């Protein structure tokens, strides 16, 4: 019997708004930003001034009052759904902060970051494969790079514009993903810097050489930006060129990670990784850029949800496991193993080891031991 998982999955597409649609969306972006920042200001003042928490219901009531004032009457010109959703997002941000899963929420900036608004089912129309948002007369001109699952009905639509000026729409649907056929293959994954990842099979996956060309292009664009006068139109255009190079680098990195994680999940029944403290490791100034480029957090996130989708097992072993300096053949443990040493010979059994391959094999062995004991397995999201 073929089994599967019912999941909520987002499909992201590029679209090209008309002049009227762009004006409406930019106006909505601005209103969402104003509502979010005002609500954050109220909640911050209440907490630090009175040690009082303000919840979503109270900020929603404040939004109703703001719409009645002369200075904020423009909030009535856009759909109310994205405004309410921004308050829900702020509530989620505070919940994550109280549970110590995230930092204190920050104010949204007009000039920096990715602008986005979220529409729920009552604020858009989906008919015959065409999407029309509230306050708009025409449907969006979406480039359908892949089809939506047959019979899928969107529940939420998120419209965004990245710093490079590209418009995207993310459509959330509920669909069933068939589990991959069972297999006996298992793999340990060691995330690294010289190689993106090293597998227990001995394979090493490196970033493509074109990454260096992208970095050179970025450096030239940043130097050109630094020479432009602040506040000038030329500086705006130069900043856009820098953003486009960043977007190109991010797209290529994301594409590589998706292909890699999909391959690992489809080929192996068990995938074992390390529980890396990426935020702490970024404090090392010598390695921060290389660690950021490797996107270890994104790699882990993709493995987690894809293992859940395709019926695979993901085990996360302790970050303090001495995987690099333990002999995978006899278990001999070195006292120290400097980062510059990439190959070493075991004093116990004389086996020669590649540092990263040896670490991946030890990670796999630890994951298999955890699985056999039935404890310490990190549940995958399904």
Q: 312 with 305: CB under 8 angstroms?
A: no
Choosing from 24, 118, 274, 313, the catalytic residue is 274
Confirm whether 354 is a catalytic residue: no
User: Would you mind telling me the total number of residues written for the chain in this entry?
Assistant: 382
Burial class (CB in 10 A: 0-12, 13-18, 19+), 73: exposed
Residue indicated by tokens 């097992």: 313
Q: Which residue of the set 118, 304, 313, 356 is catalytic?
A: 356
Q: Is 343 a catalytic residue?
A: no
Beta bridge partners of 205: 197
Residues sharing a CB contact under 8 Å with residue 79, sequence separation 6 or more, in sequence order? 28, 119, 123, 133, 134, 135
Interior angle at CA 213, CA 207 and CA 217, nearest 5: 130
Q: In the annotation, is 356 catalytic? A: yes
Q: Active site residue: 24, 118, 190, 313, which one?
A: 190
Q: CA-CA distance, 116 to 364, in Å (whole number)?
A: 40
Report d(CA 1, CA 140) in Å as an integer.
41
Residues identified as active-site? 190, 274, 356
């Amino acid at each position: 019997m073929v089994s599967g998982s019912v999941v909520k999955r987002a499909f992201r597409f590029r679209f090209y708004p008309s002049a009227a649609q762009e004006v409406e969306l930019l106006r909505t972006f601005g209103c969402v930003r104003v509502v979010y920042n005002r609500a954050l200001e109220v909640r911050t003042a209440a907490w630090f001034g009175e040690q009082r928490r303000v919840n979503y219901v109270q900020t929603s009531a404040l939004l109703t009052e703001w719409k009645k004032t002369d200075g904020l009457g423009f909030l009535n010109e856009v759909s109310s759904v994205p405004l309410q959703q921004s308050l829900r997002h702020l509530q989620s941000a505070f919940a994550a902060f109280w549970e110590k899963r995230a930092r204190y929420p920050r104010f949204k900036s007009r000039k920096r970051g990715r602008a986005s608004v979220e529409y729920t089912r009552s604020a858009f129309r989906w008919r015959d494969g065409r999407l029309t948002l509230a306050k708009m007369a025409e449907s969006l001109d979406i480039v359908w790079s892949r089809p939506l699952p047959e019979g899928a009905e969107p529940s939420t639509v998120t419209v965004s514009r990245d710093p490079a000026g590209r418009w995207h729409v993310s459509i959330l649907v509920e669909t069933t993903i068939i589990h991959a056929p069972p297999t006996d293959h298992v793999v340990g994954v060691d995330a690294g810097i010289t190689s993106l990842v090293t597998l227990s099979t001995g394979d090493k996956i490196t970033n493509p050489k074109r990454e260096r060309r992208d970095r050179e292009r970025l450096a030239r664009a940043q130097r050109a930006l630094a020479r432009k006068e602040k506040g000038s139109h030329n500086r705006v255009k130069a900043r856009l060129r820098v953003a486009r190079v960043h977007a190109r680098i991010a797209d290529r990195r994301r594409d590589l990670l998706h292909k890699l994680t999909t391959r690992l999940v489809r080929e192996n029944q068990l995938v074992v990784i390390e529980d890396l403290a990426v935020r702490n490791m970024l404090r090392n100034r010598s390695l921060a850029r290389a660690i950021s480029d490797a996107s270890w957090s994104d790699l882990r996130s993709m493995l987690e949800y894809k293992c859940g989708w395709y019926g695979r097992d993901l085990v996360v072993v302790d970050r303090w496991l001495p995987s690099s300096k333990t002999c995978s053949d006899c278990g001999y443990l070195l006292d120290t193993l400097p980062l510059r040493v990439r190959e070493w010979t075991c004093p116990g059994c004389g086996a020669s080891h590649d540092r990263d391959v040896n670490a991946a094999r030890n990670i796999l062995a630890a994951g298999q031991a955890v699985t056999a004991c039935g404890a310490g397995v990190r549940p995958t999201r399904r």
